[in-house]
């Protein structure tokens, strides 16, 4: 079993906007059940089917498989729950780690989060100045929840 250990933070300011290359991501969910999500994602010119287990702390089981982009597009438009999650991702190297900064679009516009994958839950890492409050484990920030409860509908934005 693959295990993903990931921490998620809100992003402050705009300094991150000049870093890393921007890529458009479109993703949808065949299952958004918190115990088992099944996601289809188009990431630039690549596509993936990803299965994730229930989060326990910052960890959860994860299995990811490349799939043809044309098939991913069919799944996104035909079988995935709507609306899709669309975002612009910047991958920003910081020492031995890479931060993935996601600026959400559409009904989730205005939400910007940064994620970092770690080798263990207690692994030390440096936080750039633009990293804000940690939201790891806060379910409303899960991409799978943003399809049902988009950021634009939150009463207390961030």
Q: Write out the catalytic residue numbers.
A: 29
For 98-152, the DSSP string reads: EEEEEEE-GGGTT-EEEEEE-SSTT---PPPTTEEEE-TT-GGGSHHHHTTS-GG
Residue with tokens 């458009």: 24
Q: Which residues of 97-117 are buried (b: 16+ CB within 10 A; e: fewer)?
A: eebbbbbbbebbeebbbbbbb
Q: How many of the other CB atoms lie within 10 Å of CB of 140?
A: 12
């Amino acid at each position: 079993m693959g295990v993903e250990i990931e921490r998620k933070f809100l992003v402050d300011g705009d300094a991150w906007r000049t870093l890393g290359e921007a890529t458009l991501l479109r993703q949808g969910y065949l299952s958004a059940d918190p115990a088992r999500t099944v996601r289809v994602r188009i990431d630039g010119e690549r596509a993936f089917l990803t299965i994730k287990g229930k989060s326990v702390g910052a960890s959860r089981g994860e299995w990811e498989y490349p799939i043809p982009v044309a098939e991913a597009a069919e799944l996104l438009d035909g079988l995935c729950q709507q609306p899709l999650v669309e975002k612009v991702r910047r991958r920003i190297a910081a020492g031995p780690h890479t931060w993935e900064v996601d600026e959400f679009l559409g009904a989730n516009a205005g939400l910007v989060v940064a994620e970092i994958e770690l080798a263990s839950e207690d692994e030390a890492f440096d936080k750039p100045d633009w990293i804000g409050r940690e939201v790891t484990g806060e379910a409303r920030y899960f991409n799978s929840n943003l399809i049902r409860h988009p950021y634009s509908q939150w009463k207390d934005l961030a």
